[in-house]
Chain A
Amino acid sequence: MPNDINEQMQAMFRQQHALFRQWIEQNNASSSKHEFFAQDQARAAAIMTTHATEFLQLGTALLAQLKSTTEKTDLVTLLDLFCDQVQQKTGEALLSQWRVPEHLIDLFKTHSFQDDLFLENPVLKSVKALFNFPPAGAVHQYQENLQDGANYLSEYQAALTEYIDHYSQINLEANSGLLYELTEGENTIDTLKGLHDLWVECYEKVYIKTLHTPSYQKSHARISNAVMRLRKYSYDIRDIYFEAAGLATRKGLDTALERQHVLRKQMRHVDRRLAAQEEDFNLPLFEQLHRTVISLSDEIDHLRSELTTLKQSSYVSSNNKGTMREKPEA
């Protein structure tokens, strides 16, 4: 495959990738049913394209080296090329996953802070940015806030460094595993896809082993907590300024929602208690009525039988009397 064709092919995929990205962005801006559907398709296509472009780039580079007649083809160099690229991808994924919360970035942007320099020396940069804040509230409170912000950023940087160290180790061990499989393993790898799959297998094996170590679990939690703390901090700072400007704050809204929720729960409890009481109240009444009816019924039966007895005795007595009062003989 001549180089110009490869370039054309890659250009085409880049173009398609950009097109799908644009498609997603357009659809994010609107919410009609049809466009939501298109967004699903676009997302799938974008996922496919992202890695496909890289796969082709890597494939082309490997191919160029393999076909090179001037340079001696060194498989170790090819493998290094492959490993460098996949490591770069895992690194990019990490930075994207654990980036500083967007609100905080916005905060720094308003103070002429360069995002691309952010990771170089976050503590110094952030402190500088925070000092540019127009103060709100008491001076000591302002200083405490600054101190907190600097501490959180410092913790974030330390947590990220520790976390990246774990991934460097995972990559290193995955590469060793790959090398082992390619030299000592049982399967022959003769395709680029096969090489990718083998690397994924080696990576996942090391990754899952690392994930089971308490040090990784703590490190994962540390970076998660550090990012969340920064996010919360950015909201808290915003609240201070909102409060100073007489605007509703997030904290205030949360308090209102919590109270509403507590009230709703209380109301449900009251409703349930009332329903139960009503049931309790209705039950004895019904039972009482039932008993009264039975007792009345018994009484009626009793009266009836008394009446019958009386009737019978009255009949007997009248008969007797009749006998006694026999018609006098004329």
Chain B
Amino acid sequence: MKNLKLNPEKIEVELSDFKQKLQKSYQALKEVQQIDVAQSEYEVIFTQDKLRLLYFPGNREVDARCKTPLLITYALVNRWYMIDLEPERSLLKSLISSGQDTYVIDWGYPEAADRFLDLDDYINEYLNNCVDQVTQHSGANSINLLGICQGGTLSLCYSAIYPKKIKNLITMVTPVDFHTPDNTLSLLARYIDTDLAVSAYGNIPGELLNDAYKALMPMRLGVQKSLDISNYLDSAQKALSFLRMEKWIYDSPNQAGEAFKQFIRWFFQENKLVNNEIIIGDKPVNLNAISQPILNIYGAYDHLVPPSASLPLGKLVNSNDYQALEVKAGHIGVFVSTKAQRIVPKAITEWLMQRD
């Protein structure tokens, strides 16, 4: 083993350093007073069951503002405040600062009574009502829709069913083709008995989904992550950033059983979206019906939604104005990395302004 050169003195120093860093990390964690996320101010303009529609007015002092309102729909499986995790890393804050009137759907936390909510409820009822509310509240004839991850997939379904209501569509880290070879999440879900899952759990616990995400890189997200923590928790500010992210990771709502079952079966297992075989309620989803301008933003290193799962969108829609934007980041990095913060909000704002 010519490459293994463990030296007792060096290891002794390493262990001692590690211990000091740990102590410093504990101290930094203890100094954090409050883990405040989602700090942008908003007004709740509509509620239905657990859903809330949040309105974030754009900065009125900006001269050239996008007049069409923007509705952001996040995934059901995580909380929306990833886009407003902290002021220094907030896609939402950047959009508001650019003058964009922005609305965000907060899907809430499904409870036992919501077990039978299905995709028809989420798309034809909740999302459709939110779009109507935004139209009414803003006085616009149509809206710009931005869907994130699973929320992007739902936005695609919605735009295909109600094309006249959407002016421009932006998808971010959105899976479209669920059967590309490197879609590991899909591989793990392929043979799961979804009927059994719902009859065993009712609503699917958020912790189970977290376990599934961890199972994609078990050691990197387990041993390595925890040993690396002490390397960067050397101040209260860094500890706060870390805790905000941890809070978001573990804040996983349970999934309404029926909607979860349909999503796993139709999208992950049967890959129906790319074949235009999905019917939501009584409405068929034909991606060809989408002719609006589309901006498709994806992460080059996304292990949850690999680029190969997002990029087929361009060939499946009927838009003459389709653009794909690659961000050199992972699934979450697209929203919070320093590089992404410089690129993504600006790209969205400019793209929307050009089509306003």
Contact = CB atoms under 8 A, between A and B. Distances in A.
B64 interface: no
Interface string A175-194: 00001011101111111110
B4 A79 contact: yes
A254 B202 contact: yes
A306 interface: no
Interface in A60-98: 60, 62-63, 66-67, 75-76, 78-79, 86, 89-90, 93, 97
A181 B181 CA distance: 27
Given A93-B218, A217-B190, A59 B5 contact: no
A200 B201 contact: no
B116 A257 contact: yes
A35 to B, nearest CB: 12
Interface in B180-203: 181, 184, 187-188, 190-193, 196-197, 199-202
B7 interface: yes
B243 A40 contact: yes
Contact of B30 (A41, A86, A90, A228): A41
B219 A204 contact: yes
A86 to B, nearest CB: 8
Bin chain A's interface residue count. 35 or more
Contact of A59 (B14, B25, B112): B14
Nearest to A212: B187
Interface in A171-220: 179, 181-183, 185-193, 195-197, 199-200, 203-204, 207-208, 211-212, 217-218, 220
Contacts of A89: 223
A195 B242 CA distance: 25
Contacts of A44: 29, 229, 242-243, 246
Interface string B196-221: 11011110000000010000011110
A45 to B, nearest CB: 6
B181 A63 contact: no
Contact of B227 (A13, A52, A232, A254): A52
Where chain B touches its partner, the secondary structure class is: helix
Contacts of B230: 48, 52
B223 A45 contact: no
A7 B211 CA distance: 34
Interface-centre pick from B8, B34, B242 (highest chain A CB count, 10 A): B8
A261 B193 contact: no
Nearest to B251: A40
A41 B243 CA distance: 7
Contacts of B243: 40-41, 44
Interface string B23-47: 0011001101011000000000000
Contacts, number: 182
B223 A51 contact: yes
A47 B226 contact: yes
B117 A261 contact: yes
B63 interface: no
A74 to B, nearest CB: 10
A53 to B, nearest CB: 10
B355 interface: no
B22 interface: yes
Contacts of A37: 34-35
Contacts of A181: 3
Contacts of B25: 48
Interface of B: 1-8, 10-12, 14-16, 18-19, 22, 25-26, 29-30, 32, 34-35, 112-113, 115-117, 120-121, 125, 181, 184, 187-188, 190-193, 196-197, 199-202, 211, 217-220, 222-227, 229-230, 242-243, 246-247, 250
27 contacts: A1-B12, A40-B247, A44-B229, A47-B229, A48-B226, A52-B22, A55-B227, A62-B6, A66-B6, A76-B1, A78-B6, A89-B223, A90-B219, A182-B4, A188-B3, A190-B5, A192-B6, A193-B18, A200-B219, A217-B187, A217-B191, A218-B191, A224-B192, A228-B200, A228-B201, A229-B200, A232-B199
10 nearest A-B residue pairs (beta carbon): A221-B191, A261-B116, A228-B200, A51-B226, A232-B200, A66-B8, A231-B200, A200-B219, A182-B1, A190-B5
Given A44-B29, A93-B222, A183-B3, 18 more contacts: A43-B246, A43-B250, A48-B230, A78-B6, A79-B1, A182-B1, A186-B3, A188-B5, A190-B7, A204-B217, A204-B218, A207-B218, A207-B219, A211-B187, A225-B196, A229-B196, A257-B113, A257-B116
Interface of A: 1, 9, 13, 16, 37, 40-41, 43-45, 47-52, 55-56, 59-60, 62-63, 66-67, 75-76, 78-79, 86, 89-90, 93, 97, 179, 181-183, 185-193, 195-197, 199-200, 203-204, 207-208, 211-212, 217-218, 220-222, 224-225, 228-229, 231-232, 235, 253-254, 257-258, 261, 265, 268
